[in-house]
Structure 1
Amino acid sequence: MADGKADKEHVHNRIAVLRAERGVSRRELATALGVHYQTIGYLERGEYSPSLHLALRIAAFFEVPVEVVFSLTPFPRLGSA
């Protein structure tokens, strides 16, 4: 039962893609956001869902709407448009 709930609450993200596009390391992003660099890794792997405040700060860092970074459903694979 807990696993089903966890699946429903999983937040997908494009943090790694956005970092790669902009040449930003996990450590650089973490420093800019005031979080530990391991937090960025946890977020990217889907092991941790950000607070609303952190999600909005990540979107602001990349200068994109929050829904470009985060989604409740998986993002389409690149090149599968």
Structure 2
Amino acid sequence: MTTPGLTNTLKYHRTKAKLTQYMLAEATGVSRKTINTIENSVFVPSTVLALKIARALNLRVEDIFTLAEPEKTSEPDQN
């Protein structure tokens, strides 16, 4: 079984709020590139940054970030 990863809907919520990456970056105190790498799942934000992003979008962290379901692997029969 693999370790579950973090998925996000940041781009969806950001564009729905009519914010550019730059505007969200300014509101959260990070660079536009950081917002871009989070949206593209290259970078996992810290807890503090995830909370700042959620606050800036007036959402809960859980509305933006979720744990991906782990891949199921078949285990050998014990018979």
TM-score by length of 1: 0.77
Is 1:36 the counterpart of 2:34? The answer is no
**Contact residue 7 and residue 67 of structure 2 kept, 8 A:** yes
Q: Which string of whole-angstrom CA distances, capped at 9 and with x for unpartnered residues, describes residues 20-66 of structure 1? A: 11110000100111101000010000000000000011111111111
**Greater RCO, CA 8 A, separation 6+:** 2
Distance 2:57 2:9 in 1: 11
Deviating runs (4+, > 3 A) in structure 1?
none
Is 1:55 the counterpart of 2:50? The answer is yes
Equivalent of residue 15 in structure 2, options 13, 16, 20: 20
2:36 is paired with a residue of what secondary structure? helix
TM-score by length of 2: 0.79
Instruction: After TM superposition, give the deviation of residue 9 of structure 1 in Å.
Output: 5.1
Which structure features the higher share of helix residues? 1
Instruction: After TM superposition, give the deviation of residue 10 of structure 1 in Å.
Output: 2.4
Backbone CA RMSD of aligned residues: 1.4
